Structure 1
Amino acid sequence: MKWPPQQGYKNQHIKGNKDDNYSLFNSTSQVVKMIFCLICTGVFLSGDGDRLKTPIASVSPQSLATKITQIASNITVRILNQDFLGSGFIVQHNNQEYLVVTNQHVLRAGEPPYTIETVDGSTYRGEVIAEANTFKNQYDLAVLRFKADTNYQTAKIGNSLNLEVGESVFAAGFPYQESSSAKRLEFWRNLIFLLPKN
Structure 2
Amino acid sequence: MNWRLTACFACITGAVVGLVIQVQTLGSSKTTFMRVDNPKAITPSHDSVSPPLPQVQPSPNTVPKAQKLQVIARAITVKVLANQGSGSGILIHHQGQKYTVLTNEHVLERGDKYRVVTPDGRVHLASVYPATKFDGNDLALLQFSSDSAVYTVAALGSTSSVQIGEQVFTAGFPQQLEEFIFTVGQVTITTDKALQDGYQLGYTNNIQKGMSGGPVLNSKGEVIAVNGMHAYPLWGDPYTYKDGSKPCQPMRQLMERSAFAIPIETFKRLVKDTNVYNHTSQNVSSRSLLTRLSSTGTNSSTQTSATLPHYVLYPTLQMQQQATAAKSCVK
User: Normalized against structure 1, the TM-score is what?
Assistant: 0.64
- Equivalence map 1:85-124=2 (5 Å): 85-112=86-113, 114-124=114-124
5+ unaligned residues in a row in structure 1: which ranges? 1-7, 13-38, 42-57
Residue number in structure 2 paired with 1:9: 2
Match of 2:185 among 187, 190, 194: 190
Give the deviation of 1:11 after TM superposition.
9.9
Q: Deviations over 1:66-97 (max 9, x none)?
A: 01111111111111144341110101111211
Give the deviation of 1:196 after TM superposition.
2.8
| SS of alignment partner, residue 133 of structure 2 | helix
Alpha-carbon distance in 2 for matches of 1:59, 1:174: 28
1:62 counterpart letter in structure 2: V
Q: Is the 8 A contact 2:100 2:144 kept in 1?
A: yes
Residue number in structure 2 paired with 1:134: 133
- Distance change (3 Å), C-alpha of 1:11 and 1:171: closer
Q: Deviations over 1:126-174 (max 9, x none)?
A: 110037x81122x111100111131100111102112112210011001
Report runs of 4+ in structure 1 exceeding 4 Å deviation: none
Q: Is the 8 A contact 1:115 1:124 kept in 2?
A: yes
Query: RMSD over aligned Cα, in angstroms?
Result: 2.6
2:158 counterpart letter in structure 1: N
Residue number in structure 2 paired with 1:151: 150
- Distance change (3 Å), C-alpha of 1:164 and 1:81: closer
- Distance change (3 Å), C-alpha of 1:11 and 1:82: closer
Q: Deviations over 1:8-67 (max 9, x none)?
A: 12999xxxxxxxxxxxxxxxxxxxxxxxxxx837xxxxxxxxxxxxxxxx9810011101
Alpha-carbon distance in 1 for matches of 2:145, 2:88: 17
Alpha-carbon distance in 2 for matches of 1:123, 1:59: 39
Q: Is the 8 A contact 2:80 2:87 kept in 1?
A: yes
Alpha-carbon distance in 2 for matches of 1:77, 1:175: 12
Structure (1 or 2) with the larger CA radius of gyration: 2
Alpha-carbon distance in 1 for matches of 2:105, 2:82: 14
1:166 paired with 2:165, answer yes
User: Normalized against structure 2, the TM-score is what?
Assistant: 0.39
5+ unaligned residues in a row in structure 2: which ranges? 12-58, 194-331
- Distance change (3 Å), C-alpha of 1:134 and 1:118: same
- Distance change (3 Å), C-alpha of 1:195 and 1:10: closer
| SS of alignment partner, residue 163 of structure 1 | coil
- Distance change (3 Å), C-alpha of 1:40 and 1:67: farther
Alpha-carbon distance in 2 for matches of 1:108, 1:68: 30
- Distance change (3 Å), C-alpha of 1:135 and 1:72: same
Q: Is the 8 A contact 2:82 2:107 kept in 1?
A: no
| SS of alignment partner, residue 189 of structure 2 | coil
- Equivalence map 1:6-45=2 (5 Å): 8-9=1-2, 40=10
Alpha-carbon distance in 2 for matches of 1:103, 1:109: 11
Alpha-carbon distance in 2 for matches of 1:81, 1:162: 35
Q: State the aligned residue count.
A: 142
